Amino acid sequence: MKLPQNVSQADFTAALKAFAGIVGDQWVFTTDEDLELYRDSYSLMWGEADERTASAAVAPDNADQVVELVKIANQYRIPIYPISTGKNLGYGGAAPAFAGSVVFDLKRMNRIVEIDERNGYVVVEPGVSYFDLHKYIQEKGLKLWIDCAGPGWGSLLGNALDGGLGYTLATYRSHFDAQCGIEVVLPNGRMMRTGMGALPGAKTWQQFKPGFGPRIDGLFKQSNYGVVTKMGFWLMPAPENHTTGVVTIPRFRDIIPLVDAIGRLEQSKIVQGLWNLSSPTTGTSGDGGPGGGASKQKDSKILAILNDPGGVDMDKLDAAAGAAGIPFWACEFNFYGPKKLIKAQWDCVRDALKEISGAKFKLDEIRALPLSPEELAKMRDAVTLGIPTLKTFDLGPMLSYEGEDVVGHIFFSPIIPRTGEAAIEAMDVFATIARKYKLPYPPVQFPASMFERAFMYVVALPVTRSPTVNAKIREMFRELVLIAAERGWGEYRTAPAFYDLIMGTYSYNDHALLEFLETIKDAVDPNGIMSAGRYAIWPRHLRDAKG
Amino acid sequence: MKLPQNVSQADFTAALKAFAGIVGDQWVFTTDEDLELYRDSYSLMWGEADERTASAAVAPDNADQVVELVKIANQYRIPIYPISTGKNLGYGGAAPAFAGSVVFDLKRMNRIVEIDERNGYVVVEPGVSYFDLHKYIQEKGLKLWIDCAGPGWGSLLGNALDGGLGYTLATYRSHFDAQCGIEVVLPNGRMMRTGMGALPGAKTWQQFKPGFGPRIDGLFKQSNYGVVTKMGFWLMPAPENHTTGVVTIPRFRDIIPLVDAIGRLEQSKIVQGLWNLSSPTTGTSGDGGPGGGASKQKDSKILAILNDPGGVDMDKLDAAAGAAGIPFWACEFNFYGPKKLIKAQWDCVRDALKEISGAKFKLDEIRALPLSPEELAKMRDAVTLGIPTLKTFDLGPMLSYEGEDVVGHIFFSPIIPRTGEAAIEAMDVFATIARKYKLPYPPVQFPASMFERAFMYVVALPVTRSPTVNAKIREMFRELVLIAAERGWGEYRTAPAFYDLIMGTYSYNDHALLEFLETIKDAVDPNGIMSAGRYAIWPRHLRDAKG
Res. B155: pLDDT tops 50: yes
More confident residue, A33 or A390: A33
Instruction: With respect to residue B228, please indicate whether it lies within any of the assigned structural domains.
Output: yes
Mark whether B299 and B229 lie in a shared domain.
no
Check: CB of residue A183 under 8 Å from CB of residue A198: no
Res. B292: pLDDT tops 90: no
pLDDT on residue B545: 65
| Mean per-residue pLDDT, A365-372 | 96
pLDDT on residue A443: 65
User: Which of B222, B341, B516 has its CB closest to that of A345?
Assistant: B341
Task: Report in angstroms the alpha-carbon separations of A500 from A277, A536, B246, B328.
Answer: 32, 5, 56, 61
Mark whether B131 and B230 lie in a shared domain.
yes
- Residues 259-278, chain B: which have Cβ within 8 Å of A? 260, 263-264, 267-270, 272
A108 phi and psi, to 5 degrees?
-70, -20
Mark whether B174 and B274 lie in a shared domain.
no
Q: Which helix (H) or strand (E) holds A362?
A: strand A360-363
pLDDT on residue B284: 76
Query: CATH number, domain at B53?
Result: 3.30.43.10
Mark whether A247 and A358 lie in a shared domain.
yes
pLDDT on residue A294: 40
pLDDT tier for residue B397 given thresholds of 50, 70 and 90: low
Q: What is the pLDDT of residues B312-326, one digit of tens each?
A: 899 999 999 999 999
Burial class of residue B138 in the structure, from the number of CB atoms within 10 Å of its CB (0-12 exposed, 13-18 middle, 19+ buried):
exposed
Instruction: With respect to residue A499, please indicate whether it lies within any of the assigned structural domains.
Output: yes
Mark whether A313 and A423 lie in a shared domain.
no
Instruction: With respect to residue A490, please indicate whether it lies within any of the assigned structural domains.
Output: yes
C-alpha to C-alpha distance for A416 and B385, rounded to whole angstroms: 32
pLDDT tier for residue B288 given thresholds of 50, 70 and 90: very low
Which residues of A does the annotation mark as catalytic?
91, 492-493
Res. A78: pLDDT tops 70: yes
Chain A contact set for B201 (CB, 8 A): 486-488
Number of CB pairs < 8 Å for A and B? Answer: 342
- Residues 473-502, chain A: which have Cβ within 8 Å of B? 485-494, 502
- Mutation choice for A interface testing from B180, B204, B265, B369 by most A CBs within 10 A: B204
Judged by average pLDDT, the poorest of A491-495, B157-161, B206-210, B441-445 is B441-445
Q: What is the pLDDT of residues A399-434, one digit of tens each?
A: 899 999 999 999 999 999 999 999 999 999 998 998
User: CB–CB of B502 and A454 under 8 A?
Assistant: no
Please give the share of chain B, as a percent, with pLDDT higher than 70.
95
Instruction: With respect to residue A136, please indicate whether it lies within any of the assigned structural domains.
Output: yes
Res. B289: pLDDT tops 60: no
Mark whether B355 and B289 lie in a shared domain.
yes
Q: What is the pLDDT of residues B398-438, one digit of tens each?
A: 789 999 999 999 999 999 999 999 999 999 999 899 889 98
The chain A residue lying nearest B342, using CA atoms, is A344
Chain B contact set for A341 (CB, 8 A): 270, 344-345, 348
User: Which of A192, A213, A268 has its CB closest to that of B222?
Assistant: A213
Mark whether B267 and B198 lie in a shared domain.
no
pLDDT on residue A175: 97
Residue A306 DSSP code: H
User: CB–CB of B415 and A196 under 8 A?
Assistant: yes
| Mean per-residue pLDDT, A321-328 | 94
Q: What is the pLDDT of residues B87-118, one digit of tens each?
A: 888 899 999 999 999 999 999 999 999 999 99
Res. A288: pLDDT tops 50: no
The shortest C-alpha distance from B68 to chain A (Å) reads 15
User: CB–CB of B193 and A502 under 8 A?
Assistant: no
Query: CATH number, domain at B141?
Result: 3.30.465.10
Mark whether A426 and A347 lie in a shared domain.
no
The chain B residue lying nearest A453, using CA atoms, is B207
Task: Report in angstroms the alpha-carbon separations of B167 from A194, A408, B173, B336, B371.
Answer: 27, 48, 6, 12, 17
Burial class of residue A13 in the structure, from the number of CB atoms within 10 Å of its CB (0-12 exposed, 13-18 middle, 19+ buried):
middle
Cα B354–chain centre separation = 34
Domain ends where: A65, A83, A105? A105
CA nearest B195: which of B167, B219, B175? B219
| Mean per-residue pLDDT, B507-534 | 98
Mark whether A72 and A141 lie in a shared domain.
no
User: CB–CB of A422 and B203 under 8 A?
Assistant: yes
Res. B469: pLDDT tops 80: yes
User: CB–CB of A199 and B515 under 8 A?
Assistant: no
User: CB–CB of B512 and A198 under 8 A?
Assistant: yes
The chain A residue lying nearest B263, using CA atoms, is A119
Instruction: With respect to residue A266, please indicate whether it lies within any of the assigned structural domains.
Output: yes
Domain ends where: A72, A105, A138? A105
Instruction: With respect to residue A91, please indicate whether it lies within any of the assigned structural domains.
Output: yes
**CA geometry: angle at A542 spanning A538 and A544, to 5°?**
105
Chain A contact set for B216 (CB, 8 A): 218-219, 513, 516-517
The chain A residue lying nearest B211, using CA atoms, is A492
Which residues of B does the annotation mark as catalytic?
91, 492-493
User: Which of B203, B213, B536 has its CB closest to that of A488?
Assistant: B203
User: CB–CB of A210 and B341 under 8 A?
Assistant: no
A322 phi and psi, to 5 degrees?
-60, -45
Domain ends where: B222, B237, B252? B237
B432 touches chain A (CB under 8 A): no
Helix, coil or strand: residue B278: strand
Find residue A462's DSSP bridge partners: A409
pLDDT tier for residue A114 given thresholds of 50, 70 and 90: very high
> Please, what is the average pLDDT of chain B?
93
Q: What is the pTM of this model?
A: 0.96
- Mutation choice for A interface testing from B64, B260, B268, B416 by most A CBs within 10 A: B268
Give the number of domains in chain B.
5
Mark whether B51 and B81 lie in a shared domain.
yes
User: Which of A190, A336, A490 has its CB closest to that of B509?
Assistant: A190
Ranges assigned E (strand) in B48-127: 56-58, 80-83, 102-105, 112-116, 121-124
The shortest C-alpha distance from A299 to chain B (Å) reads 36
> Please, what is the average pLDDT of chain A?
93
| Mean per-residue pLDDT, B387-402 | 77
Res. A295: pLDDT tops 80: no
Mark whether A262 and A390 lie in a shared domain.
yes
Helix, coil or strand: residue B374: helix
Res. A291: pLDDT tops 60: no
pLDDT tier for residue B395 given thresholds of 50, 70 and 90: low
Mark whether B364 and B338 lie in a shared domain.
yes
Res. A290: pLDDT tops 60: no
pLDDT on residue B443: 65
A440 phi and psi, to 5 degrees?
-80, 60
pLDDT on residue A390: 83
Check: CB of residue B108 under 8 Å from CB of residue B127: yes
User: Which of B214, B451, B535 has its CB closest to that of A218?
Assistant: B214
More confident residue, B323 or A287: B323
Chain A contact set for B338 (CB, 8 A): 270, 344, 347-348, 351
pLDDT on residue A479: 98
Instruction: With respect to residue B56, please indicate whether it lies within any of the assigned structural domains.
Output: yes
Q: What is the pLDDT of residues A80-106, one digit of tens each?
A: 999 999 888 889 999 999 999 999 999
Q: In what order do the strands lie in the sheet with B454-456?
A: B454-456, B414-417, B490-491
Query: CATH number, domain at B518?
Result: 1.10.45.10
User: CB–CB of B204 and A488 under 8 A?
Assistant: yes
- Domain extent, residue A202, equals 112-237
pLDDT on residue B2: 85
R_g of chain B, CA atoms, integer Å: 24
- Residues 341-360, chain A: which have Cβ within 8 Å of B? 341, 343-345, 347-348, 351
A185 touches chain B (CB under 8 A): no
The shortest C-alpha distance from B69 to chain A (Å) reads 18
Instruction: With respect to residue B371, please indicate whether it lies within any of the assigned structural domains.
Output: yes
Check: CB of residue A187 under 8 Å from CB of residue B477: no
User: CB–CB of A120 and B267 under 8 A?
Assistant: yes
- Mutation choice for B interface testing from A267, A336, A346, A483 by most B CBs within 10 A: A267
